[in-house]
Structure 1
């Protein structure tokens, strides 16, 4: 029969709720949650890749438009 630890039987505490001992933890804001989930470097690379990707797509579109005019 598997053994259950005492920690597993206690209910999980909500991450945004203050500690029961009155620790006075400030509520987690939306910005803090987003910044903790997505590293800053990842956001910068994502924006850069989106910009470069759209720039490349515009260049390819421009090639097709200019190529169609020459026929």
Structure 2
């Protein structure tokens, strides 16, 4: 039995959950690294 077209379209447009988690983790890690580098430059002797 063929699937309903609307349901198939929703499944095709759905972003994979693993990719969303990975992108979120990369964003958090990137901001942490950037914050650490900023902190190093702020506390460095002038």
Instruction: Provide the TM-score with structure 1 as the length reference.
Output: 0.47
- C-alpha root-mean-square deviation of aligned residues, in Å? 2.2
- Unaligned ranges ≥5, structure 2: none
Question: Which protein is bigger by CA-based radius of gyration?
Answer: 1
- Unaligned ranges ≥5, structure 1: 1-24
Mapping 1:1-71, distance limit 5 Å: 25=4, 32=10, 36=14, 38-67=15-44, 70-71=45-46
- The structure whose residues are more often helix, as a share, is 2
Q: Which runs of 4+ in 1 moved over 6 A?
A: none
